[in-house]
Amino acid sequence: MNISNEQISRLKTFTLSSKDLGGQATKTLEFNGFGCSGSNQSPHLYWEHAPHETKSFAITMFDPDAPTGSGFWHWIVFDIPANINELLPNAGNVNHNLVPHGVIQSKTDYGIYGFGGPCPPVGHGIHQYIITVYALKVETLGLDENASPAVVGFNLWQNTLAKASIIAYYKRDASI
């Protein structure tokens, strides 16, 4: 069976992938605090086939299953230059300076800057952690590291050309 060039170009959609994250989160990602004892290491992320008009990227990690009434924001990264298409493992640790200069990692719902891994309540069941990369039509969102997740989300909504996601699942049992 032959595939035409048009069919191949349609297959090249905006895609997010990871070398170290599959369908399940692990103790490596798990938060270290709030009763959790993980490594709190953000995953490797790689994206490709962004729209040609892309001027910057943003990344979020969100848990819609958190028992808060509004979900829980675990990671918010924005103003990633358009020529960047990868974040290394643990780039979410703001003390390691693994993101390019000018990239902003704002406060999570933990009240910390950078990555805050999964830490669902014991016995609350499986939570989904949606990691999304946004291709944006602006070079900068014009926000700083103190912008709330809601303000960042509103600005992402206004400026998104395309987005791609990975979903990882995680739960904590009393024995963990």
pLDDT at residue 148, rounded to an integer: 94
Residue ranges making up the domain that contains 140 = 13-170
DSSP string, 33-80: ETTEES---PPPEEEE---TT--EEEEEEEETTSTTTT-EEEEEEEEE
Report yes or no on 3 lying in a domain. Answer: no
The total number of structural domains in the chain stands at: 1
Report yes or no on 69 lying in a domain. Answer: yes
pLDDT at residue 5, rounded to an integer: 58
Express each pLDDT in 62-93 by its tens digit.
999 999 988 999 999 999 999 999 999 999 99
Q: What is the CATH number of the domain that holds 114?
A: 3.90.280.10
pLDDT band per the 50, 70, 90 thresholds, residue 22: confident
pLDDT band per the 50, 70, 90 thresholds, residue 175: low
Report yes or no on 6 lying in a domain. Answer: no
Report yes or no on 2 lying in a domain. Answer: no
Express each pLDDT in 109-130 by its tens digit.
999 999 999 999 998 999 999 9
**pTM for the structure as a whole:** 0.91
Report yes or no on 1 lying in a domain. Answer: no
**Share of residues in the chain with pLDDT > 70 (%):** 93
Report yes or no on 164 lying in a domain. Answer: yes
Report yes or no on 110 lying in a domain. Answer: yes
Express each pLDDT in 35-70 by its tens digit.
999 999 999 999 999 999 999 999 999 999 999 988
Q: Which long-range contacts (CB under 8 A, 24 or more apart) does 172-176 make?
A: 172/36, 172/119, 172/120, 172/121, 172/122, 172/123, 172/124, 173/122, 173/123, 174/122, 174/123, 176/122
pLDDT at residue 123, rounded to an integer: 87
pLDDT at residue 176, rounded to an integer: 45
Structural contact between residues 20 and 87, judged by C-beta atoms closer than 8 angstroms: no
Report yes or no on 55 lying in a domain. Answer: yes
Q: Supply the mean pLDDT for the chain.
A: 92
C-alpha pair distances (Å), 159 with each of 2, 80, 100, 134, 156? 38, 14, 21, 9, 5
